[in-house]
A and B are shown apart, each in its own frame.
Chain A
């Protein structure tokens, strides 16, 4: 191969390596991009306070709200709703309380993530106050009352009669350290 061809080959190699590196970066760029798109379109904004525009109570309909909570992993927390079920009217302000107890002898950082069943009902249940908006730091043996204030909007589809609000409590921290070790507090995530 002549010198000029070798030079051209190296040139092409250089360009293609740059493309490959850029695409590796693009994979990471999808992370903030995805967050931004979700924020703009309002998808998956489950841990931010909602705003309620219409608070007209619709006495003609009743919805059964069911409450459920669980902790992921084998971590010994207790997260229990004080009441399992409540019948509400669309538009009514609903207060419920969950009890969280850390039964371990270590302090943990935790985050609750809500989910709704049926999924499409979730768009119409607005949370004004929720312990899931912030991470909870619970010391060893500590108990805490966690409030939720929500409104079921009158726009909820007519065929929905029961909505389940379920919280999953996650331990914050990516490494799988032994559970007896003291966890670093704050700064993660």
Chain B
């Protein structure tokens, strides 16, 4: 029996397109995730630029308001579900088996499925723009009752969300199983690199939160077509119920995006500070606390629906409590750098950029947690600025840090350090140009998701639009850096970062071989 299951891993794998369609190799699948996410990042980015083009000047110049609404909706959905989440699943695929000394993911075939569900879902989202009535113009939060009144584009979006959810759940089950069952001998839970820990916690969050979103959009679908009244007041339903269900998923979703980013940063900062991570155990507990709290604070997104004061007080204090474990993490990262022999290669620059700007986004989050303030700022550009600080400068910058950090291990070649630094500085300057001014717009009362605005908002909007175009173009430089590294990058040294001490750097050659750790290493 045993012999049947002994695969010959040195056999030739299919080449060309079929290699990618049929692959069950975690490295191949990781690569596909990352490229898919980059493609979606470009699509979502073009949509953001359409939004910023319309907002360059007051008045309606470029697009129809209905199309503008579709752009804000699709930009949100594509960036969250198509770009950021798959990017980190890509990192998980590449890194987790190598970091825990496993030969591959626990369920390689399911892994293949989790990836190949994504392109159809992305296609559905893009296709929804071309059906009669256009795509859903409801915002990424898909609030009822507007969703019930949309055209068939809404149905395509609902199906896309279903498929994306299935992909995420399958990927998460795979990640949890891999981490729990396939660690190398000696790799105890509290020896796992923090990136692995953060993904274990994130995967649990996904398994618990994504099905709830699936339920919410399924209810929307049956309200639309099958005569149910979950969110229809006339039939005894309640639109506010949708918001509760959505945000029960939506708030953990915020951390599903942020926590793997914390994991990447927790690998990069120690490597370039040449010091072990400060307070490893407290980092693990802080991450777990954030994850648990994330399920208990959802209604802070909906202070204005008319909740009793007691409920508002609870959600306000519970939300502010999250600042404690998050603060633990930020202080630990700073303490890791303290008296370290730091160098500032591109991954470290992005990590420090993350640290500054994510913390700023965290602070505006605290401001928004205050009920009386939030009632003023609800649905203004202040909120837009806040979540772009945590999503773009947080998650996206951390993904950039991760790509620059692990690229030498993945492809065996170095990226161009000078161009990498250019990419960082252009990104951080244009990012702030785009989003910092949006705080002022929000404080002055400019509402989000509206294609036109009053004249007093004109200057800041123009600055923001210029920043957005600069930021978008800077990402083409990133693409160029990647292609240049893959085509003609200098050969990477065995260990390009001397502070990096996880298994993929210490136990595997550079570039990492197609099959790694077929016999597990022993971790001391």
Contact of A27 among B176, B180, B215, B225 (CB under 8 A): B215
Between A and B, 23 residue pairs with Cβ closer than 8 Å are A5-B182, A9-B177, A20-B173, A21-B211, A23-B208, A23-B211, A24-B211, A27-B216, A27-B249, A30-B212, A30-B244, A30-B248, A31-B230, A34-B238, A43-B306, A43-B307, A44-B238, A44-B240, A111-B235, A172-B234, A174-B226, A188-B227, A189-B234
Q: Which residues of B contact A138 (CB under 8 A)?
A: none
In the complex the two chains form, is A16's CB within 8 Å of B225's CB? no
The CA-CA distance from A38 to B240 in the complex, in Å, is 11
A residues in contact with B169, CB < 8 Å: 20
In the complex, the answer to whether A20 meets B207 with C-beta atoms within 8 Å is yes
Chain B residues with CB below 8 A from A12, complex form = 106, 173, 176-177, 180-181
* Among candidates B207, B230, B307, residue contacting A23 with C-beta atoms closer than 8 Å: B207
Binding site for B on A (CB under 8 A): 1, 3, 5-6, 8-9, 12-13, 16-17, 19-21, 23-28, 30-31, 34, 38, 41, 43-44, 110-111, 113, 119, 168, 170-175, 188-189
The size of the chain B interface, using a CB distance under 8 A, is 49
Main SS of chain A's interface residues?
Answer: helix
Check A189–B245 contact: CB distance below 8 A: no
- A119: nearest residue on chain B (CB-CB)? B306
Contact B212 A19 (CB under 8 A): no
Q: Contact: B238 with A9, CB < 8 Å?
A: no
Q: Least Cβ distance of A128 to chain B in Å?
A: 21
- In this assembly, does B228 line the interface, its C-beta being within 8 Å of a C-beta of chain A? yes
Report whether A19 and B238 are in contact in the complex, using a CB–CB cutoff of 8 Å: no
A172 touches B208 (CB 8 A): no
CB <8 Å contact, B244 and A111? no
A30-B248, A31-B230 as given contacts; A13 in contact with B177, CB under 8 Å: yes
Chain B 1-40 interface mask (CB, 8 Å, partner A; 1/0):
1100100000000000000000000000000000000000
* B107 interface contact, C-beta 8 A: yes
Judge whether B103 is part of the interface by a CB distance below 8 angstroms: yes
The reply to whether A174 and B232 form a contact with Cβ atoms under 8 Å apart is yes
B214: CB under 8 A from chain A?
yes
Count of chain A to chain B residue pairs whose CB atoms are closer than 8 Å in the complex: 120
Minimum Cβ distance to chain B for residue A188 (Å): 7
Q: Knowing A30-B241, A44-B238, A189-B236, say if A174 contacts B207 (CB, 8 Å).
A: no
Across the interface, do A34 and B208 meet the contact criterion of CB distance under 8 Å? no
Q: Are B180 and A41 in contact (CB under 8 A)?
A: no
A5 to B181 Cα, complex, angstroms: 7
For B229, list chain A residues within 8 Å (CB).
Answer: 172, 174, 189
Name B215's contact: one of A24, A34, A113, A170 (CB within 8 Å). Answer: A24
Interfacial chain A residues near B241, Cβ < 8 Å = 30-31, 34
Given A8-B181, A16-B176, A27-B216: A171 touches B211 (CB 8 Å cut-off): no
For residue B233, CB closer than 8 A to chain A, the reply is: yes
Q: Name the residue among B1, B219, B222 with the largest chain A CB count within 10 angstroms.
A: B219
Q: Are the CB atoms of B245 and A27 closer together than 8 Å?
A: yes
A175 and B225 within 8 A (CB) = yes
Instruction: Chain B residues near A5: list those with CB within 8 A.
Output: 181-182
A174 near B173 with CB under 8 A, answer: no
Is B164's beta carbon under 8 Å from chain A? no
**How far apart are the CA atoms of A5 and B219 in the complex, in Å?**
39
Q: Is B223 an interface residue (CB 8 A)?
A: yes
Contact between chains at A172 and B235 (CB < 8 Å) = yes
Identify the interface centre among A3, A24, A168: most chain B CB within 10 Å of its CB: A24
B-side contacts of A171, CB under 8 Å: 234
Which chain B residues lie closer than 8 Å to A25 at the CB level? 215
Considering the complex of A and B, which 3 residue pairs feature the smallest CB-CB distances, nearest first?
A: A27-B215, A170-B234, A189-B235
